[in-house]
Structure 1
Amino acid sequence: MPKKRQILVIGNNENGCTPELELLAYEVGKEVAISGSVLITGGLGGVMRAACHGAHDAGGLTVGIIPQDDASFANEYCDIVIPSGLGLSRDFLNALASDGVIVVGGGSGTLSEMCAAYMHKKPIAALRKSGGMAAKFADQYLDHRQNVKIVGVDTPQDAVKYILDKITA
């Protein structure tokens, strides 16, 4: 049996996550599940919870890699919880566990995960209209190394399609 594709969805936590971002993240999670891929998130609130909710409602499998050492911190839509106990360092684990990354809004924690994915040359899609780090870095490189271009997309469907095209190429 072939390995399942694993797509990381990152973005705003519960602080700063608007209802519009939650809806967008829900749709991204749903599209990940429809594609037959495993959804990976940081397992907490905001975009992470909304994406897990969308994937869960579409019958997908969700994995939450949380910074705490206690699984009870994970959102209720995580099917598998990995309590890393790594604090903010878990951003690297999230990036390395994924085949590709989708960015919905986001702040400095999201940027940390983007940098980890970028350094490891993971394909990254950023939803342009979601604001935050996604809008700031869409359609550009993070630095002079030009490891991978962060590709701006307009819809959750486009985000998942881009990641799948890159990881199955």
Structure 2
Amino acid sequence: MTKRRQILVIGNNESGCTPELEKLAYDVGVEVAKSESVLITGGLGGVMKAASHGAHDAGGLTVGIIPQDNPSYANEFCDIVIPSGLGLSRDFLNALSADGVIIVGGGSGTLSETCAAYMHKKPIAALKNSGGIASKFSDQYLDHRQNVKIVGVETPQEAVRYILSQITA
């Protein structure tokens, strides 16, 4: 049996997640499930919950790596919950667990996960029209090292297609 691809979806938590971002994240989750990849999120609300919901509805497998030590904090669409007990440091666990990362909107927590993925040269796609970190860093490198370019995409389908092209190449 070969290892399944694992795609991390990151973005706004519930306090900054608009209905438009929820729809985008839901659709990303559906596309991840359709690709037969495992969806990984931070397991909480907002973009994380919406992506998990989409993947769940499409019959995919969802993993939530939560910052708390109690699994009850995870959203109801997580099939597997990993209660890290690491607080904000769990952002690095999320990034290192993924073969590729998709950004939907996002604030400082999303930036932390993006930086962790960038430092470990994980392929990163950002939905350019979703605002936040995704829009700010689309189609550029985070720094002079040019580890990986954060590729701006227009649709959830393009995001998953790009990540798959990078991890199966």
Which residue is equivalent to 1:140?
Answer: 140
Q: Which amino acid aligns with 1:38?
A: V
TM-score by length of 2: 1.00
Summarize deviations over 1:111-157 as a string: whole Å, max 9, x none. Answer: 00000000000000000000000000000000000000000000000
Which residue is equivalent to 2:16?
Answer: 16
Identity %: 83
Shift of 1:65: 0.1
Q: Which amino acid aligns with 2:104?
A: V
Deviating above 3 A after TM superposition, structure 1's stretches of 4 or more consecutive aligned residues are none
Q: What is the CA RMSD across the aligned residues, in angstroms?
A: 0.2
What 5-or-longer segments of structure 1 have no aligned partner?
A: none
In the alignment, the residues of structure 1 paired with residue 93 and residue 124 of structure 2 have an alpha-carbon distance, to the nearest angstrom, of 16
Equivalent pairs, count: 169
Q: Which amino acid aligns with 2:145?
A: R
In the alignment, the residues of structure 1 paired with residue 95 and residue 107 of structure 2 have an alpha-carbon distance, to the nearest angstrom, of 16
The residue correspondences of 1:47-126 to structure 2 (distance < 5 A) are: 47-126=47-126
Shift of 1:167: 0.2
In the alignment, the residues of structure 1 paired with residue 130 and residue 28 of structure 2 have an alpha-carbon distance, to the nearest angstrom, of 12
In the alignment, the residues of structure 2 paired with residue 39 and residue 16 of structure 1 have an alpha-carbon distance, to the nearest angstrom, of 21
Q: Which amino acid aligns with 2:53?
A: H
- The alignment partner of 1:81 has SS state of strand
Shift of 1:106: 0.1
- The alignment partner of 1:164 has SS state of helix
In the alignment, the residues of structure 1 paired with residue 150 and residue 118 of structure 2 have an alpha-carbon distance, to the nearest angstrom, of 8
Q: Which amino acid aligns with 2:65?
A: I
What 5-or-longer segments of structure 2 have no aligned partner?
A: none
